[in-house]
Amino acid sequence: MGFNSTTLAMELVYFNPNGFGVDLKKVDCDVYVDNTYLGKYLLDTSMHIPRRAEFMLPSRIQVDMKAVLKNGLNLLFSKEVLINVKGTTRVGKAGFYKTVPFNYEARHTLSLF
């Protein structure tokens, strides 16, 4: 943990509802909490995503601590936060890959205590 930036590590669990598996090569996105920039998420590891199954995505986010500290009180007293993730991912099958843009936005309950 540092004053300028901190690395946040976690494992995210997703579900692939499709009847086919794909290979994930890269993820590059920006993460926002309540429309405030939180940090950059990069994944540069190849992994296979099985069909109709849950999979874990190892995650490391470089968090901009200045933005977190500036808006920390709002986050501390909010029960819900708006999470927005914008970026691109590189997915493919049988050696053919395509860069696909994505934009995820949803409200999540924040429980610190």
**pLDDT for 60-78, tens place per residue?**
887 877 766 666 656 656 6
Tokens 């470089």 label which residue? 62
**Amino acid, single-letter form, for residue 45:** T
Domains of the chain, by residue range, sit at 5-109
Please, are residues 34 and 81 in contact by the beta-carbon 8 Å criterion?
yes
Q: What's the chain's Rg over C-alpha atoms?
A: 16
- Low-confidence spans in the chain with pLDDT less than 70: 1-3, 67-78, 110-113
Q: Does CATH number 2.60.40.10 belong to domain 5-109?
A: yes
pTM: 0.75
